[in-house]
Chain A
Amino acid sequence: MFSIQDLQKKLLSNETSSKSLIEASLTQIEKTKSLNAFISVLSKQALEDAEAADKRRAAGKSIGPLDGIPVAIKDNLCLENTRTTAASKILENFNAPYTATAVQRLKDAGAIIVGKTNMDEFAMGSSSESSYFGAVKNPLDESKVPGGSSGGSAVAVASGCVPGALGSDTGGSIRQPAACTGIVGMKPTYGRVSRYGLIAYASSLDQIGPFGTNVKDCATILSAICGEDSHDNTTSARPCEDFSKKLGEGVQGKVIGIPKEYFAEGLEASCKATIEKTLAQLEKEGAILKEISLPHISYAVSSYYIIATAEASSNLSRFDGVRYGYRAPDVHKLFDLYAKSRSEGFGKEVQRRILLGSYVLSSGFYDAYYVQAQKVRRLITDDFKKAFESCDVIASPTMPGDPLACGTSSSDPMAMYLSDIYTVSLNLSGLPGITLPCGSSENKIPVSIQWIGKPFEESALLSVAQATEQLVK
């Protein structure tokens, strides 16, 4: 697998051109078409952009580590004049009228978007099977799901189509597919990356983040897309550093918190053993392991599904068949226009979550569900706050075991929901997290470790992740 750093080196030494990189990327996309990682491939524009990048470089005006590098973006990120579907029939023919801030920043850094990747419809799912455009396949084992919802972006990187990609993470939608496909995926702190132009699933949980084949590449992409945005009131004003420059600090003296609740029942034995082995190695490198407790963590998944669906039910109201998107034919009454357009335009999982969300916000149920879930969210956030008083980073599994078998998500949605058990709490508390492979399970499938950082301390998080990466190489 190529890294962004290697490709940039080759570009700068004239070993290759951006045009060849894009051509190679397009060829690989074509070759791996059966994986169904892409919804749209933007060959023409990508080749034009490559020529421009090559000219810049020839003129000595290369604009940084991403200049001329092919990347992919999840299809819930708006790109002006380009089809942006969120993998839904309701947006099958929707051309975005503007470009998302994160995407624009990636373009401004010279990255070239070769395509828009497949995903769970409206990012609702952990298997990338609920797409209107068909399921994404896991290149490591086609009988297993590639994870989701950003499965297409993960597979695009894992199958060598692009060295980096953007996804969005609402409950684990970057970290989980990264783990399923054996690559690195990161969810930044809530507010670190602008959500403007990201088709919202659950606004208070959504965050855009990078996929890469290595930690440094993720740092490079994050540096390009992060920072305050006047179009997103929830972005933080904290200055954005070049996260790739602070790597290499190692783990000497770092206190690693190990939540006892995460390494208990529910975690597959070989998975647990692999992660514990990695932690033992880090201890040898000078890290201090410390057991911590997150007492309210067992309520995270329930709390997450209430808050996420509540927000989703409102966020998805705009898809009503009136101004854009799918409109049911032959309707003559306003109610029918709404009911039929939405029933025909949304898939089953999306409808399930809209109904659940509407239910938890309904008067009479509001206190028992939404208000309660918000209280739990507060408690979980406080748990982490308290835990971080005595440690620098927290280690955890990314998934309870191997990726689910294809088809589980529709036959047993609860099993899919529970696969988010280690990831959702970060979205609830807004914390940054990164996942990377640290070994293999007995089925020869990569096992990933998840590192959880303090708010806005992505630098520290990335440097521990990189130390882990070097250890397991």
Chain B
Amino acid sequence: MSKYYPVIGLEIHCQLATRTKMFCSCEVEVNTTPNKHVCPVCLGMPGAMPVPNKKAVEYAIRLGLALNCEIDLNAMWTRKNYFYPDLPKGYQITQTGGLPVYDHPICKNGWLEVTLDDGSVKRVGITRIHMEEDAGKLVHDLSPEGSHFDANRCGTPLCEIVTEPDIRSPQEAVLVLQKIKQILEYTEVSNANMENGNMRCDGNISLRESEDAPFGTRAEIKNLNSFTNLEKALEAEILLQTLTLDANKEVEQCTKRFDVNNNKTIVIRSKEDAHDYKYFPEPDMVRLVTDPKFVESIKNSLPELPDARRERFVNDYQITAYDAQVLTMERDVSVWFDTAAKQCKNPKILANWVISELLREVKDLENGLSDVKIMPEHLAALVNLIEDNTISGKIAKQVFADMFATGKAPDVIVKEKGLVQITDISAIESIVSEVVQANQGQFDEFKAGKVALKGFFVGQVMKKSGGKANPGLVNQILDKMAAQ
């Protein structure tokens, strides 16, 4: 580890899960025929004007409330000016930049909490959340003559979440990003899928010599698209800045990207090349005035957030804090478990089944949990069958495999395959007798006191019963016969 202390802040862009674009009524759908969802507004045609999407504003406020932010009831739109062929108007409409007087993002001054490895809770400030529009996409490989432009993504609503430089290690940064992803999912504000780019992260990092020294010069690493890359990029940058400082050189302020293959951060823009975006208030829209009652109604309808759900799972279902943490990490898993647990006689056992059986299988599915055929109620029913001794735990694994493959209810499978546990004492006694007769020699040894042979007999009986004999009863009967 470096002898310096890292100071880290994150900027997270996420695509809002609205049906239509930020400033026009075109549908948001990216992976489709190029230029299918376009209109004069998102194409930046002369004279076209933006009108804010109310749903996007609602989502941004919901996110802000979930991150404990103040909501600006008189927010402002601004223009960020730059030329690029994927930017039809030659400017991006956003809510940042320029002087403080023109800087009125929809949300500011919030915080979130993460639990560190040592169990302590750390609070990280949220500087601001602002709304903006996405650019289009350039396609360079359609023909050798030139590039092509797909405007489907133009005007897609985005939120940018900026944290305070409160993060002190790459691992903490990962926890913060995970928490933000979790909150985006829980509030259903964004699909927050990092693989397909609807959530991206930039990391700002600097080093200093002690925990209370002033901040050093920072580098900004752009477009980190996974938790692993965030951690690796920050670590690589720490190493690089450490070497620079050790050599008594100064770290230069710059914008970088992360080269995954070589595990190195690479400068893409130095401070001197920084763009002058000429931010100024967007004159095509009035200020974004929000009714406090609207904010209140969003607050009142805010869904249960990850921390609250985790605590509820521990309290209501008596599961361990660790299990609750695993089960609430992803919203869809938590909803799945919650639905099942409500109908289960032993949520603790259910939690084991979900974590060690279900989630293990889910990892291999293309669309994760949504591809799972098992209904939550059915897994609850399976655990209930074990609880009331209808089937053994071993048979249950077999039933689970069938459920996973077919989506059938466990009682149906148990019935179809005749897997009901044998609890009839006389039936078990006759199987035990058969086994004893076939292995009289060993049984005599067992009787004489070779206790270790008991396992052998239990195994043989279970085998003969096709695993259906109640193991407790098998043990009792064997003990009884040995004592005769």
Contacts and interface: CB of A to CB of B under 8 A. Distances in A.
A211 interface: no
Given A362-B276, A362-B278, A195 B49 contact: yes
Contact of B47 (A199, A322, A338): A199
A201 B93 CA distance: 18
Interface residues of B, number: 30
Interface SS of B by simple majority = loop
B285 A322 contact: no
A319 B227 CA distance: 40
B40 A318 contact: no
A91 interface: yes
Contacts of A320: 83, 85, 90
A311 interface: yes
Contacts of B79: 314
A77 B47 CA distance: 8
Q: Which of B88, B99, B280 has the most CB of A within 10 A?
A: B280
A455 to B, nearest CB: 14
A197 B47 contact: yes
Interface stretch (A175-183, A286-294, A363-371, A446-454): A363-371
A361 B46 contact: no
Contacts of A230: 51
B477 to A, nearest CB: 81
Contacts of B99: 366-367, 371
Given A317-B81, A370-B280, A78 B46 contact: yes
B285 A318 contact: no
A336 to B, nearest CB: 12
Interface residues of A, number: 47
Contact of A361 (B49, B51, B83, B278): B278
Nearest to A203: B283
A310 B280 contact: yes
Contact of B286 (A234, A311, A318): A234
B98 interface: yes
Given A317-B89, A318-B89, A233 B51 contact: yes
Contacts of A234: 49, 283-286
B276 A318 contact: no
B49 A323 contact: no
Contact of B44 (A232, A323, A363): A323
Nearest to A122: B46
B49 A338 contact: no
Contacts of A91: 46
A318 B49 CA distance: 13
A320 B90 CA distance: 8
Nearest to A335: B83
Nearest to A321: B85
A84 interface: yes
A75 to B, nearest CB: 11
Contacts of A314: 79, 81, 90-91, 278, 280
A100 B50 CA distance: 14
A358 interface: yes
A2 interface: no
B405 interface: no
**6 shortest interchain CB distances as A-B pairs:** A317-B90, A203-B283, A204-B283, A361-B278, A199-B46, A197-B47
Interface of A: 76-78, 84, 86, 91, 94, 96-98, 100, 195-200, 202-204, 230-234, 310-311, 313-314, 316-320, 322-324, 334, 338, 358, 361-363, 366-367, 370-371
Interface of B: 40, 43-52, 79, 81, 83, 85, 88-91, 98-99, 101, 149, 276, 278, 280, 283-286
Given A100-B47, A195-B284, A320-B85, 16 more contacts: A76-B47, A96-B46, A98-B40, A196-B48, A197-B47, A199-B47, A234-B284, A313-B81, A314-B90, A314-B91, A318-B88, A318-B89, A334-B85, A361-B81, A361-B278, A370-B280
